[in-house]
């Protein structure tokens, strides 16, 4: 089918209409047509909302807010109830109130996704949902794990696992799984925004767990204005990466930087800048690590501000040299500080070939990356170093540097972080920042 052809499927035709015409079309549907549309959820759901095929016991939907996790969970439970008369389905949330307000009565809950002809009954006092097929849903709270000890279930839906409290939440999960013996094919769906808790990691590591990972922006049915506003406010921050992109973000033991510290040092604007330095950590080889390129400015308040992470990966020497020169030009840098341990005079040659007038200073590192980074980390703790906006890849590397010399961040080397250290040291530490560093 070419782009100009009209799709035969009416659902596809409806999906291609502008929002206003979609609304008018939906309003014009009669009861039979609406039931047909509701019954074909699988046709207009986005890919991350459709249950995976194959042999799985746990389907973990770990995604950002607005991805459609709740709708996917409610539709899956409804499909189980229709296809398995008499099924016993556990509905488990962080609290009873969460189950009632979100999973059952919510805008995308079980009552909302029921088809027009389905007389689903919700008994609030007993915490039971009765489906027309005879299947029943039973409400449980992760705060009361003992109530999951004993009952047998054919299927289960667990919502916001990341909110389940330690100890009680772990016990609730264990008791639930031990009761999943009501049929030959018991299955559990988990819908959650990720949080770095032990239970989340346990579930992710289970051998029969199928994981769906998604972002808020992956849901095509969300208002564009909402997505754009959320990205404008939170993109790249720890909160945005967790709540919008569905990333599981944790702190490394003994790290010089923590996620919380970086979030506390994030600003949207800078004061008047009095000087700018670009730090460079050249790659060891053309096909090896990235070339770290970070611009740092000093404000008239005496603080340092990370202005840009302009690092490049996989570039030739000429390519990363041009990137350095471009970054220096954009920020009118008074100095480019580049490490010469890897490449020696070649570093100066390629940089000056890119820009003969580049204000270059080469430095030799006689101490390890973590040792050089420690004085800069102290600047953050003292409230003297700030990030203008969010630089996720750079921040991941900073949070991977450990006191004592270890590194547990992304990539083989913290090249971006090292470039920041060179620039911030030159801006704020002066001679105090030259411990273990010799300038040439």
Q: Residue 131 above 80 pLDDT?
A: yes
> Which among 172-176, 234-238, 345-349 has the top mean pLDDT?
172-176
Q: How many CA atoms lie within 13 A of 258 on its CB side?
A: 7
Assign 436 a pLDDT band (cuts: 50, 70, 90). very low
> Which among 5-14, 87-96, 214-223, 241-250 has the top mean pLDDT?
87-96
Tokens of 436: 């273990």
Q: Residue 440 above 50 pLDDT?
A: no
Q: Residue 4 above 60 pLDDT?
A: no
Q: Which of 253-267, 275-289, 378-392, 405-419 has the lowest mean pLDDT?
A: 275-289
- For residue 173, CA distances in Å to 170, 177, 371 come to 5, 6, 43
**Residues 424-438, mean pLDDT to the nearest whole number:** 64
Q: At which residue do the structure tokens 């807010």 appear?
A: 65
For residue 404, the model assigns a pLDDT of 79
Element (H, E) at 309: strand 304-309
Q: Residue 179 above 60 pLDDT?
A: yes
**Does the pTM exceed 0.95?**
no
- For residue 351, CA distances in Å to 152, 270, 346, 347 come to 69, 28, 8, 6
On whether the CB atoms of residues 388 and 306 are closer than 8 A, the answer is: yes
Q: At which residue do the structure tokens 């709708």 appear?
A: 71
On whether the CB atoms of residues 361 and 433 are closer than 8 A, the answer is: no
- For residue 112, CA distances in Å to 29, 37, 74, 86, 334 come to 18, 14, 9, 21, 61
Residue 49 sits at the vertex; the CA angle it makes with 53 and 243, to the nearest 5 degrees, is 130
Assign 158 a pLDDT band (cuts: 50, 70, 90). very high
- For residue 209, CA distances in Å to 56, 169, 181, 199 come to 6, 18, 17, 13
Provide the mean pLDDT of the chain: 87
- For residue 342, CA distances in Å to 101, 288, 311, 346, 432 come to 59, 12, 16, 9, 24
On whether the CB atoms of residues 133 and 85 are closer than 8 A, the answer is: yes
Q: Which of 4-8, 263-267, 405-409 has the lowest mean pLDDT?
A: 4-8
Q: Which residues, including other chains, have CB under 8 Å from residue 238's CB and lie 6 or more apart?
A: 249, 259, 260, 262, 263
Assign 344 a pLDDT band (cuts: 50, 70, 90). low
**pLDDT higher for 184 or 83?**
83
């Amino acid at each position: 089918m070419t782009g100009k052809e009209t799709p035969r499927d009416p659902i596809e035709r409806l999906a291609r209409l502008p929002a206003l015409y979609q609304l008018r079309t939906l309003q014009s549907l009669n009861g039979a047509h609406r039931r047909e549309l509701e019954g074909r959820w699988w046709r207009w759901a986005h890919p991350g909302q459709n249950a995976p095929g194959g042999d799985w016991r746990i389907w973990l939907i770990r995604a950002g807010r607005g991805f459609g996790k709740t709708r996917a969970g409610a539709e899956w439970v409804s499909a189980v109830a229709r296809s398995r008369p008499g099924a016993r389905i556990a509905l488990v949330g962080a609290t009873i109130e969460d189950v009632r307000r979100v999973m059952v009565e919510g805008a995308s809950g079980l009552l909302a996704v029921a088809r027009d002809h389905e007389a689903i009954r919700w008994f609030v006092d007993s915490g039971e949902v009765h489906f027309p097929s005879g299947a029943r849903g039973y409400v449980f709270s992760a705060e009361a794990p003992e109530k999951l000890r004993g009952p047998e279930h054919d299927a289960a839906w667990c919502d916001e696992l990341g909110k389940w409290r330690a100890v009680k939440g772990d016990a609730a999960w264990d008791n639930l799984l031990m009761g999943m013996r009501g049929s030959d094919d018991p299955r559990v769906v988990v819908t959650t925004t990720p949080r770095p808790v032990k239970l989340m990691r346990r579930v992710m590591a289970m051998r029969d767990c199928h994981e769906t990972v998604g972002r808020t922006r992956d849901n095509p049915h969300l208002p564009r204005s909402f997505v754009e506003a959320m990205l404008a406010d939170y993109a790249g921050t720890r909160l945005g990466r967790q709540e919008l992109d569905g990333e599981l973000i944790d702190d490394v033991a003994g790290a010089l930087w923590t996620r919380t510290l970086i979030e506390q040092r994030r600003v949207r604007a800078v004061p008047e800048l009095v000087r700018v330095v670009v730090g460079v950590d050249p790659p060891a080889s053309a096909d090896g690590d990235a070339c770290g390129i970070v611009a740092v400015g000093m404000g008239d308040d005496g603080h340092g501000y990370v202005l840009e992470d302009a690092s490049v990966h996989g570039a030739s020497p000429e390519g990363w040299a041009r990137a350095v020169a471009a970054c220096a030009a954009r920020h009118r840098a008074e100095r480019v500080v580049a490490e010469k341990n890897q490449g020696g005079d070649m570093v100066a040659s390629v940089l000056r070939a890119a820009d003969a007038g580049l204000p270059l200073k080469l430095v030799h590192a006689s101490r390890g990356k973590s040792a050089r980074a420690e004085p800069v980390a102290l600047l953050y703790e003292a409230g003297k170093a700030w990030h203008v906006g969010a630089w996720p890849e750079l921040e991941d590397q900073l949070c991977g540097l450990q006191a004592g010399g270890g590194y547990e961040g992304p990539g083989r080397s913290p090249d971006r972080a090292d470039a920041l250290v060179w620039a911030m040291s030159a801006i704020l530490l002066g001679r105090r920042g030259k411990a273990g560093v010799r300038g040439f």
